[in-house]
Amino acid sequence: MSDTNVSILWEAVDYIRVEEIKKAFPQVNFVDVSPGVELDQELRGEIFLVTPTRDTAELPKFLDKGVEWVHIMAHGVDGLPFEMLGDCLVTCSRGASSVPIAEWAVAMILSHTKKIPESWISKEPENWFLAPLETLSGATVALLGFGSINQEIAKRLEPFGCRIVAVRNSDSGVSETSVEMLSTFEEAVSDADHVVIGLPLTEETHHIVDDKLMNLMKPGVHLVNIARGDILDQEALFENLESGQISRASLDVVTPEPLPEGHWLYSDPRVKLSAHISWASPDFLDQLHDLFSSNLEKWLSGLPLDGLVDTKKGY
């Protein structure tokens, strides 16, 4: 481990456990660059620790302060000013929330398949013993993107006996599951009963799930989005819900966030909406802390970092 003093520029938030990091890395100095804090003209820092709620428009003014490594305490990196990062190393907290998000997606798929909660009863039903429930056994689930989240989804779906197909956006990622890798989104969605969007948001993926792609899906398909709201064309989604082409949309992400009062996504019965909370789990903050601390030790030791972001691709 290096004995050289290192400064980390950071926004003072509770979940970054500064005292723990200082104890483990006594050569590290934290410099508060929270919005509204008066900055020293001689401000310098080798590491810039970015919180997911930080206004990324403010970031460029810090990049000429000696920053060599930018780490964002989130999985997604859309919004970072990649064109201004130059030779900086960029890492994210990839994997910290993959398991809880995968569990949320599988819960949505199962709830749609078994008509939950609409199949619960609170009074005598019209019919006992009969219900139009479906099964995952033999169903096809298409995973758009095959990063850490969709890989965890595939692992959890495999025991149900469904067919899982995926389109990988890059050569990264390894899966031990029997997933069929396909070359195009069009091919993947054509026979799918459930489609899960798990792509990074880039210029190329903005509204990539549009009216054209939705119309290539199997009529009555269930659409799940756990990635970013702007990957899905919400106007096209409404039209395809109206036509019945899509029977249900389970959305943890939308655009904008938060939605304005009275937005149609709040009240449409065909939409199951949550407030970007699929990542939540009891150990999520522990995961964030451990990932950064592990990378900090590697950076100080001159070792390759985990969660590297390709700044040219934007993920």
Catalytic center residues: 228, 257, 276
Question: Do 242 and 267 contact (CB within 8 A), yes or no?
Answer: no
Give the DSSP letter string of 208-238.
Answer: -B-HHHHHTSPTTEEEEE-S-GGGB-HHHHH
Distances (CA, A) of 272 to 114, 143, 228: 14, 19, 16
Instruction: Tell me the C-alpha distance between 307 and 71, whole Å.
Output: 9
Distances (CA, A) of 311 to 18, 77, 180, 242: 27, 10, 29, 39
Question: Do 60 and 86 contact (CB within 8 A), yes or no?
Answer: no
Amino acid identity of residue 135, one-letter, is T
Work out the end-to-end distance of the chain between its first and last CA atoms, rounded to an integer number of angstroms.
29
Question: Do 247 and 225 contact (CB within 8 A), yes or no?
Answer: no
Question: Do 211 and 236 contact (CB within 8 A), yes or no?
Answer: yes
∠148-265-197 over CA atoms, to 5°? Answer: 20
Instruction: Tell me the C-alpha distance between 200 and 240, whole Å.
Output: 23
Rounded to 5 degrees, φ, ψ at 112 are -70, -45
